[in-house]
Amino acid sequence: MENKRIIQILVVVIVVLALIIGYFFIVKPMINKSATDNQVIGFNLAIQGILQQLQQQGFVRMTIGNQTLILVPYQQPQNATQ
């Protein structure tokens, strides 16, 4: 009877450890990949919005806190040497 109890406890410990390992090596990387993918999509949408506004208005005004950043297209002079 004592051996059966020890075996049951060991099986439970093994199952719990397998679940923990499965979480850290399978579930968590999938969650992180999904979050990263969503961040990339959001970044791309923001850049597209900035470029669209730049094309339509010729400048983009961004306010961050109490500072304003104005983006304008830069035209490199034709006679510039590289």
Provide the β-strand partners of residue 60: 71
Average pLDDT over the chain reads 91
Beta-strand ranges (E) seen in 2-80 are: 60-64, 67-71
Q: What is the pLDDT of residue 82?
A: 59
- At 81 the pLDDT is 63
Please report the pLDDT score of residue 74 as a whole number.
Answer: 85
Model pTM score: 0.59
Residues of the chain with pLDDT under 70: 80-82
Residue 44, pLDDT score: 95
Helix (H, G, I), strand (E, B) or coil at 62: strand
3-state secondary structure of 1: coil
